[in-house]
Structure 1
């Protein structure tokens, strides 16, 4: 008992301190740079389609390949970060991204391009999502929710920053030059920052350290809770994908044009960044489960608003509301894992749950398109998203019902 109390006291001198905040800034930069892997193929899709002389569906395979690599990487690298720490993962990711973009820039066919996006770009980008989120969660206690939310915001910030940074290169020199620029930036920025994060928290690095129990006690086994979170992650992100993946096409179908749809998507992503930061504050006050429930209910309402409100001004407003509703949902899964499950297993457990959210996005994007093909309308696709969203709400209500309350031991660091 004395050893546990001593170690908890040692952790208190580290958590939420100056080093933790400096590490958070570095993590946000890494997330913003590394998550370029999720957005770059979208930026170059028209040029790639034209150069390789393929149709839009075939050209989109590179995006699908990226999402598969990203999903698998969140699981595999989530396990790796528990064992080796975040520095090894980020250095490997920087090398993978640098090599992936450099080789893609000289690729001679679509299949080469797609394979590189799955095996190097998607996999490399994943290190700056779930593994990085799991790592920063170890360095905060009182403000853990905020720190997790800030790090997760890099995923959306990448979608805002990189298009603006690359637009002139794309216009002047084409997509191959843009990919070479990305390769150079990833290697030159990510490796030095990764080396600055070599320090590891006491409770996951000290030999013989006494494990500290989770904050929350629940009448469910860790395995059952884990798979409930996986199912909830799929449900919420099938719903989330409908506007995110199809808002541009939906805008074009309504006669407003692709450019207007792109503006709605940007507004949605900016709302998502604000939502993630706000949800972090809220989670520190009321916990991850309740915060996720609030976001999921608001997402349900926003999806519902899309059905009757299809005017131009209305769609801008609803898209902003949707972004503000859904942005904080995904980071809450990482917060819940840290509240309910062992700290030493954070990387693999956060990785598995966030992998399920990525798969939910991929599944939902395809389902919405398939439903549109069957019905020639997005109305049924919105209803499908609402149904999956209700599954998420039901699961989180069940988790909240089975929660017994805070543990009597010190909170897990």
Structure 2
């Protein structure tokens, strides 16, 4: 078996009426809709960052706190809802997420200081979590031949949300104000999420899980790592890659404002970046089904590092559009590959919580990286060291994923070597 190959064949095969079926692809479409709507929480605060700084009379680091709160809620919510999805299916987490988003956005519209807004941002993050890790875990069970592509589709809801929502939010906050915009989001989200969630009530037969467990046990034996050891490596790698990823995604709107290009330009750039991130995720999923998730991780991490370096040398308006486009194309496929690896090597009945733990690490990386970049800017008056900070963490990720891909080969060579 090729290193970290995403294709596995379970003994006896899977029920052709469920796995890779037409219904599975229909479920993929519904998953993408929910993810796109639910993940509004990840991006609304990015657009509002300059506005919040003025509204609540705080520094850039203080204005970054709501984003950190959102990500902390998103991280915790992913694990809790992932565990719930393992036990009762995906419908309950999505319905809970819809309620939390509605409550969080409407109440946040009436806050009077940055700490109140940050507290409500945690609630919003908890709600948005239902649209990411639990959905990825659920959809991964419905595919075998095209699992990496399916997981990439599910993960693309977050980026598609980032491509659509910032433009909508920027328009309405300019015309109606950010508080009215928050109320509108709080009313809209459950109107979409609740009925779509009810269409996902169908669950897989038990025999599919039993067959998948046998396949993952065999793959794990060949890999030569214990489940918790692999989990730990993926957690650290996920944290590191998103410490790097957070700088452009969280601060590009504020960065464009500082350079004199305006918030509208920054909003367009982040929408372009995340829209191309969707393209990247789908392309990487299709490619990973051929070459394996591990090699795809190495490729994505290497290209992300290159894009971060480019930000250090170019900051004209045109160059920011170009570099941000490249950044979106380079990094979009990284995070879904962690989920693909987990589904190949770790027990499927634990997929919800295990995928959520790794994605929690990626979210914490985004939260910590975004906050660190804000305080680095406050200390230096420039984002230059913030980009270098992200590049350092990217190197940590690249070392870990490269070792993970090379380890099985090194292990086999050591075992084959004469005593």
Question: Same fold per TM (> 0.5)?
Answer: yes
Give 3-state SS (helix, strand or coil) of 2:96's partner.
helix
Q: What CA distance in whole angstroms lies between the structure 2 residues aligned with 1:99 and 1:314?
A: 40
Q: Does 1:158 align with 2:157?
A: no
What displacement does 1:99 show? 2.0
From 66, 70, 74, the counterpart of 1:62 = 66
After alignment, is 132-141 or 259-268 more displaced? 259-268
What displacement does 1:325 show? 0.4
> Conserved in 1, the CA contact under 8 Å of 2:167 and 2:267?
no
Q: Does 1:173 align with 2:184?
A: no
Q: Structure 1, unaligned stretches of length 5 or more?
A: 406-413
Q: Deviations over 1:16-71 (max 9, x none)?
A: 11110110010000001101111223344555566556565544432221111111
What displacement does 1:404 show? 6.2
Q: Does 1:338 align with 2:343?
A: yes
What displacement does 1:331 show? 1.0
From 8, 13, 22, the counterpart of 2:17 = 13
What displacement does 1:5 show? 5.0
Give 3-state SS (helix, strand or coil) of 1:212's partner.
helix
Q: Indicate how the Cα distance of structure 1 residues 9 and 258 shifts in structure 2: closer, same or farther if over 3 A, else same.
A: closer
Q: Indicate how the Cα distance of structure 1 residues 354 and 275 shifts in structure 2: closer, same or farther if over 3 A, else same.
A: same
Residue aligning to 2:116: 112
From 218, 224, 232, the counterpart of 2:229 = 224
Residue aligning to 1:310: 315
Q: What CA distance in whole angstroms lies between the structure 2 residues aligned with 1:308 and 1:52?
A: 33
Residue aligning to 1:362: 367
What is the correspondence of 1:48-87 to structure 2 with a 5 Å cutoff? Answer: 57-87=61-91
Q: Indicate how the Cα distance of structure 1 residues 319 and 404 shifts in structure 2: closer, same or farther if over 3 A, else same.
A: same
Give 3-state SS (helix, strand or coil) of 2:131's partner.
coil
Q: Indicate how the Cα distance of structure 1 residues 191 and 96 shifts in structure 2: closer, same or farther if over 3 A, else same.
A: same
> Conserved in 1, the CA contact under 8 Å of 2:287 and 2:296?
yes
Q: Deviations over 1:319-363 (max 9, x none)?
A: 111111011111111111112211111111110000111111122
Q: How does the TM-score come out when normalised to structure 2?
A: 0.87
Q: Deviations over 1:67-101 (max 9, x none)?
A: 11111111221111111111111111111112222
What displacement does 1:300 show? 1.3
From 147, 150, 161, the counterpart of 1:147 = 150
What displacement does 1:310 show? 3.3
Q: Does 1:321 align with 2:326?
A: yes
Q: What CA distance in whole angstroms lies between the structure 2 residues aligned with 1:142 and 1:33?
A: 28
Residue aligning to 1:201: 204
> Conserved in 2, the CA contact under 8 Å of 1:239 and 1:385?
yes
> Conserved in 1, the CA contact under 8 Å of 2:243 and 2:369?
yes
Q: Structure 2, unaligned stretches of length 5 or more?
A: 1-9, 411-419
Residue aligning to 1:409: none
Q: What CA distance in whole angstroms lies between the structure 1 residues aligned with 2:361 and 2:147?
A: 22
> Conserved in 2, the CA contact under 8 Å of 1:242 and 1:365?
yes
Residue aligning to 1:29: 33
Q: What CA distance in whole angstroms lies between the structure 2 residues aligned with 1:255 and 1:186?
A: 34
Q: Deviations over 1:151-177 (max 9, x none)?
A: 111111112222344455434433333
Q: Indicate how the Cα distance of structure 1 residues 169 and 261 shifts in structure 2: closer, same or farther if over 3 A, else same.
A: closer
Q: Does 1:211 align with 2:216?
A: no
Give 3-state SS (helix, strand or coil) of 1:141's partner.
coil
After alignment, is 330-339 or 244-253 more displaced? 244-253
Q: What CA distance in whole angstroms lies between the structure 2 residues aligned with 1:377 and 1:57?
A: 13
Give 3-state SS (helix, strand or coil) of 1:127's partner.
helix
Residue aligning to 1:134: 137
What displacement does 1:201 show? 1.7
Residue aligning to 1:411: none
Q: Indicate how the Cα distance of structure 1 residues 96 and 317 shifts in structure 2: closer, same or farther if over 3 A, else same.
A: same
Q: Deviations over 1:346-381 (max 9, x none)?
A: 111110000111111122223333334444443333
> Conserved in 1, the CA contact under 8 Å of 2:149 and 2:286?
yes
CA RMSD of aligned residues (A): 2.6
